[in-house]
């Protein structure tokens, strides 16, 4: 009887570990990012249109192996009619090959749209496009990030600090190396402490004029608005973490070396409104 109970506990433990691993989603390697500006007075209507239709369309792409994840977020700050964009659409891919376009809409997209009441992909686009403009589209490639956990998958209602950075000419690789050595261990500690859900650094390309302004983007994701703070958690908190995580190292010089290799072009706070995986 004792052996049976022990075996049962062991099976439960193994099952729990396996379930935990299954729930740990691999983050995308690439994002295709649409910078969206909704037409005046159309933001709510456009969001409702997406909520009604896009989950089914993206799920069809995910099942077909052509997409890893999708998310739609609204810019919380800065806001206003003068802002270039007020929403972001992020399509996640595991490889470059997933992003390669097909010749025309595949059958599974056409059939999905018909189940939603559209006569064709063209009909869908004609109903969607008057509500928004795509300001530009960029490709982001993941450089590094915190270790995936069961909490890695973004959820609707969560918040993200998006920082757009410009590295010195020819110094992108140096910046990435210092960031991994200095900042990434601090972000890992913040995730373990429950201060942060995830943190990642991305290299950008495409998007025309954006290339002159930034070539790195960092994403710091939080469960709630009250958890938001400066991108690295506030100087006092960051100093304490650096002292603990980099014992015996001149972490102040590491930070100075990192900061000297980049400038901050823009920072946004966005809220995730929809997400599919």
The answer to whether 271 touches 227, Cβ cutoff 8 Å, is no
**Domain assignment present for 8:** no
**Domain assignment present for 7:** no
Q: Is the peptide bond before 269 cis (omega within 30 degrees of 0)?
A: no
pLDDT in tens, 57-107: 999 999 999 999 999 999 999 987 778 999 999 999 999 999 887 778 899
Q: Is the pLDDT of residue 184 over 60?
A: yes
CATH number of the domain at 203, please: 3.30.70.100
Residue 211: the pLDDT is 62
Residue 233: the pLDDT is 46
Residue 99: the pLDDT is 87
Percent of the chain with pLDDT over 70: 87
- Say which residues have a Cβ less than 8 Å from residue 117's Cβ, sequence separation at least 6: none
**Domain assignment present for 218:** yes
The answer to whether 182 touches 52, Cβ cutoff 8 Å, is no
Residue 257's CB is within 10 A of a number of other CB atoms, namely 16
Number of folded domains that form the chain: 1
Residue 230: the pLDDT is 54
**Domain assignment present for 1:** no
Range(s) of the domain holding residue 103 = 26-276
**Domain assignment present for 5:** no
**Domain assignment present for 17:** no
Q: Is the pLDDT of residue 37 over 90?
A: yes
Residue 228: the pLDDT is 82
Q: What is the mean pLDDT of residues 125-153?
A: 92
Residue 234: the pLDDT is 57
pTM: 0.86
Burial label, 33 (beta-carbon count in 10 A; 0-12, 13-18, 19+): buried
Residue 195: the pLDDT is 80
Angle between helices 107-115 and 43-63 (to 10 degrees): 130
Which pLDDT band holds residue 3 (cuts at 50, 70, 90)?
A: very low
């Amino acid at each position: 009887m004792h052996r049976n109970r022990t075996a049962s506990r062991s099976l439960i433990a193994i099952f729990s570990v396996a379930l935990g691993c299954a729930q740990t989603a691999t983050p995308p390697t690439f994002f295709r990012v649409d910078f969206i500006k909704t037409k005046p007075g159309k933001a709510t209507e456009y969001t409702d249109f997406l909520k009604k239709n896009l989950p089914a369309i993206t799920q069809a792409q995910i099942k077909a192996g052509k997409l890893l994840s999708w998310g739609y977020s609204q810019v919380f700050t800065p806001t206003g009619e003068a802002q270039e964009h007020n929403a972001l659409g992020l399509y996640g891919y595991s490889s470059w090959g997933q992003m390669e376009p097909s010749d025309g809409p595949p059958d599974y997209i056409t059939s999905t749209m018909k189940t939603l009441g559209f006569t064709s992909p063209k009909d869908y686009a004609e109903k969607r496009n008057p509500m928004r403009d795509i300001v530009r589209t960029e490709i982001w490639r993941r450089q590094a990030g915190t270790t995936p956990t069961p909490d890695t998958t973004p959820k609707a209602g969560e918040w993200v600090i998006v920082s757009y950075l410009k590295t010195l000419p020819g110094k992108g690789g140096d910046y990435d190396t210092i960031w991994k050595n200095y900042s990434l261990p601090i972000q890992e500690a913040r995730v373990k402490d429950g201060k942060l859900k995830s943190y990642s650094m991305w290299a950008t390309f495409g998007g025309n004029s954006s290339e002159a302004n930034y070539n790195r983007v960092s994403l710091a994701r939080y469960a709630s608005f009250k958890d938001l703070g400066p991108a690295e958690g506030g100087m006092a908190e960051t100093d304490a973490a650096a002292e603990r995580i980099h014992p015996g190292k001149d972490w102040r010089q590491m930070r100075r070396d990192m900061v000297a290799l980049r400038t901050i072009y823009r920072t946004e706070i966005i809220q995730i409104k929809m997400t599919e995986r």
